[in-house]
Chains A and B, each alone.
Chain A
Amino acid sequence: MLEITNLHTSYGKTPILRDVDVRVDEGEIVGIMGKNGVGKTTLVKAVIGLLEADEGTIRFDGDEVTDDPADSRARRGIGYIPQGRDVFPELTVEENLRMGETINESNGDLQYEAVYDYFPVLEERREQDAGTMSGGQQQMLAIGRALIGNPDLLLLDEPSEGVQPSIVQDVTRDLERVNEELGTTILFVEQNLHVVQNLAERCYAIDKGTIVDELGSDRLESREAVTEYLAV
């Protein structure tokens, strides 16, 4: 589904990612955990195409997309949820969802029914400006927006950030349902212990811009193994 090989990226002349290899198979839920500032967002942006790769390749659904712009990768089927849930604040909830319709263009069916089923609050507040909703609701909207076009891969940048702990549990469960019911492959970056342990089937650890470990489901159950890579 997604295959990142030997990826290097930089901001201007400052190198950030070095020699990153990540592989996600169809139907999997894969995490990438790491502390503040180790390059998680940089990696996610390189995958969606908001940052250029200096070296290495990114393959999606069998095709190389390394040089494709972000909009074309989205239309191919990547649903992206930015860090800090960048909803369009002055668009209504419904208009925000409508923006997700272009994702996975070739797949015609839109998922309004499923999205409203996972997040009923989005249907209740269809007409409301997105910027006036609470943090948790905006996160649901950002996820719902990415799901509307029925993406093959859902790409999340710290879905737990700035969201109340009780809502974090809900969101984790909702993402599991999405994976099970819609068959969406999920790749997320996180530094929240709860999300990493409860959502990931398999998890990479990233530090100082490179992948330093890969944990299977058995090691993910051990609190020590996971916290080693998180700022807890």
Chain B
Amino acid sequence: MAGIELLNFGFEFVEVFAFIVLATVGLAVIFGMMGIINLAHGEFILVGAYATTFAFAAGLPLPLAMLTGVVITAVFGLVLERFIIRHLYGRLLDSMVVTWGISLVMIQLVRIAFGNSAPGVGIPFGQLPVVDGPVYYLVLATIAVGVLGGLYALFAWTDFGVRARATMQDEETARSMGVDTDRMYMATFGIGSGLAGFAGALYAPVMTITPEYGTGFLVEAFVAVVVGGSSVIVGTILASGFLGSVNAAFTNLAGTFMGQVAMLVAAIVAIRLMPDGITGLLADWRENRGESR
């Protein structure tokens, strides 16, 4: 009996953790690397989901349909960066107002173009034995871990990653070392957009697709970015782990609604105790240790 409960909690955790990670990474990359708060994040996710369902309805196999969703969202992000976002670097408030405007316009455009619903995509892979839930959630969790690992490798080890971090720390010096920093920003924004599109694509089989589809991801994404702080990957992992376990525990005890409430309360407490997020706190610790040595 206790074993089953533990399994249920574990499954719940895996489901929520994957959702928070996938909902967050695109936003976290754009915020952490470029200091832009993208309030149209939900609509980037929406683009990914719509592109996926329509590609699927047109007869593409699901994985390819999802890839289409990612690519279309990334291209969409690149175009937006080129013509609008590029003028907003270093202007936090302006960037929020503009991206919020983009978000409103897009929701209406999608409603006008496609109406209030889109063709559905069935959940692949069937049900799990023992715990009550689809196998697909385990696939999502594996993908979430893969995305985190991939991002870590990209930013920690590749030339692109080193240049991106250098550009973030000191754009002028990076440029004078031969880095085309405009292109770095564009590429980073494209990656963040593509990741948002990926979230939309991956959850297309699980959630009903309407013009408000993106808003279903926003709470988790923004809460996790704030709780995580500015360190993209570590912040996302720690915040998703923390918020995911609170959510899963309370969902198991008292249902989905209480799970959400508990998660938000935990987030508020966490932000109160750690204004710069978990990674901000870690950075302070490291600094203090350095000083006392």
Contacts and interface: CB of A to CB of B under 8 A. Distances in A.
Q: Is the interface of B mostly helix, strand, loop or mixed?
A: helix
A121 interface: no
A71 interface: yes
A143 to B, nearest CB: 13
A16 interface: no
Interface residues of A, number: 26
Interface string A92-103: 000100111111
Interface string B76-102: 000000000000000000000000000
Nearest to A131: B169
B179 interface: yes
Given A90-B165, A98-B159, A105 B173 contact: no
Interface residues of B, number: 18
Given A82-B173, A99-B174, A71 B180 contact: yes
Interface in B225-264: none
A122 to B, nearest CB: 16
A71 B173 contact: no
B131 interface: no
Contacts of B163: 99
B176 A82 contact: yes
Contacts of A89: 169
Interface of B: 159, 162-163, 165-166, 169-170, 172-181, 290
Q: Which 5 A-B pairs have the closest CB atoms?
A: A102-B178, A74-B178, A75-B178, A86-B173, A80-B176
6 contacts: A50-B175, A74-B178, A91-B169, A98-B159, A99-B177, A103-B177
Given A71-B179, A99-B162, A132-B290, 17 more contacts: A50-B176, A70-B175, A74-B175, A74-B176, A74-B177, A74-B178, A82-B173, A82-B176, A88-B166, A88-B170, A90-B169, A98-B162, A99-B166, A102-B177, A102-B179, A103-B177, A103-B178
Interface of A: 48-50, 69-71, 74-75, 80, 82, 86, 88-91, 95, 98-103, 105, 132, 145, 149
